[in-house]
Structure 1
Amino acid sequence: MKIVVGLGNPGRQYSATRHNIGFMVVDELAQRLGIDRWRNQKEALVAEYKGNDTILLVKPQTYMNLSGVAVGELARWYKVAVEDIIIIFDDMDLPTGRLRLRMKGGSGGHRGIESLLTHLSKDSFPRVRVGIGRPPAGWQVVDYVLSSFTAEEQPLVKSAIEKAADATESILEQGMNKAMNLHNK
């Protein structure tokens, strides 16, 4: 079994914000897999796909800073190794629309990742980082990540969501090393 987690915040007011790009990618994957049924489980929305492997698509409903609570509970419930949990999230250190895959590492100041590191007790979960760029001068980080993408950014974001879904499919089908070689450009 593999768990694919998109990080974000629950609620309509956050649905189109930069911080919710992880949810957007998971929604794209669900559409590709023909999934339209979600259930509430362990403080998350969960959808299941049965193919060669069972894949759980997960959108934590604990708010970003507590994402690890839901993911940790699901990992323990399903007895899934940390290395089999793929995390998709927004990254201000990458320009809007850019992608970077990593095998492990620290949080880089991302509170959702900090929560995962705490609740999974390991840093070896594969990551799909989706660039959202840096806040403009005078903006607070929290205001920026909770803002919507501009009209000019929309084509980049649409492409990034598709590329992140492609990269996640590559991780699932070919493993992390091959996926990094294909998608880290």
Structure 2
Amino acid sequence: MLTFIRKLFSDKKQLLTETDTMKKFLIVGLGNIGADYENTRHNIGFKILDFLAEQEGFTFENAKLGALATFKHKGKSVVCLKPSTYMNLSGKALKYWMNKENISLDNILVITDDLNLPFGAIRLKGKGSDGGHNGLKDIQNVLQTTKYNRFRFGVGSNFNKGNQVDYVLGKWDNDQEKAMPERLKKSTDLIRSFIFAGAKNTMNEFNGK
């Protein structure tokens, strides 16, 4: 009888732990730290999380391997991370906080710029190649899988051959700046949907919009 009771409590504790894990999310915005990179196309991940922070009223604080913030959304605990490792080592920061906060891979969302999408286009995918993006490449190498959720924000490809680096590290043009508030709001709506409704429902609702 005593053995049965111990097993019952052990199973209940495990179930509670698994439930807590399902309710916790990690949102990682990719970018590079420093004034030189602020408001560049490559830093859209930072920009979207900063906009989310304004909406939700939370602030980022310096922590190990990045700037960190937390908030609640409809009963879910959300950890937001802006890695300080620079783009090429983004996976190191993601893996550290994923393990430290005990967050499942299914509940991780990586926000990144994408040259293959027109400006402002948003697309959520549950897997895929790195597409030549160094941040995604490092995350893939660290996680040893291509099956993780990534939110791709289109930055367009209006550059001459050989000028890709200058383009992604360049500032938004005037037309893009004017359109940005609406695109940022749509982006944060996507993030909330991912947290509450899941990846599949969010793809159906937001992809291509």
TM-score (norm 1): 0.94
Match of 2:66 in 1: 44
Could you report, residue by residue, the CA deviation over 1:65-84 in whole angstroms, capped at 9, with x for unpaired residues? 11111111111111211111
> 1:138 offset after TM fit, Å?
4.6
Matched, 1:19 2:46: no
**Distance in 2 of aligned mates of 1:42 and 1:115:** 18
Could you report, residue by residue, the CA deviation over 1:92-134 in whole angstroms, capped at 9, with x for unpaired residues? 0000111111111110111100111111222222111000011
> 1:4 offset after TM fit, Å?
0.5
Q: Greater share of helix residues, 1 or 2?
A: 2
Q: How many residues in Structure 1 have an aligned counterpart in Structure 2? A: 184
SS for the counterpart of 2:128 is coil
List alignment gaps of at least 5 residues for structure 1: none
> 1:45 offset after TM fit, Å?
0.4
**Distance in 2 of aligned mates of 1:4 and 1:104:** 16
**Distance in 2 of aligned mates of 1:17 and 1:113:** 18
Matched, 1:144 2:192: no
Aligned-pair Cα RMSD in Å: 1.3
Match of 1:130 in 2: 153
TM-score (norm 2): 0.84
Question: Aligned ranges for residues 10-89 of structure 1 at < 5 Å?
Answer: 10-36=33-59, 38-51=60-73, 52-89=75-112
**Distance in 2 of aligned mates of 1:113 and 1:156:** 26
**Distance in 2 of aligned mates of 1:155 and 1:184:** 22
Contact 1:135/1:141 (<8 A) preserved: no
Specify the structure having the higher radius of gyration (Cα): 2
Structure 1 letter corresponding to 2:100: W
Runs of 4+ in 1 over 3 A off after TM superposition: none
Identity of aligned residues (%): 35
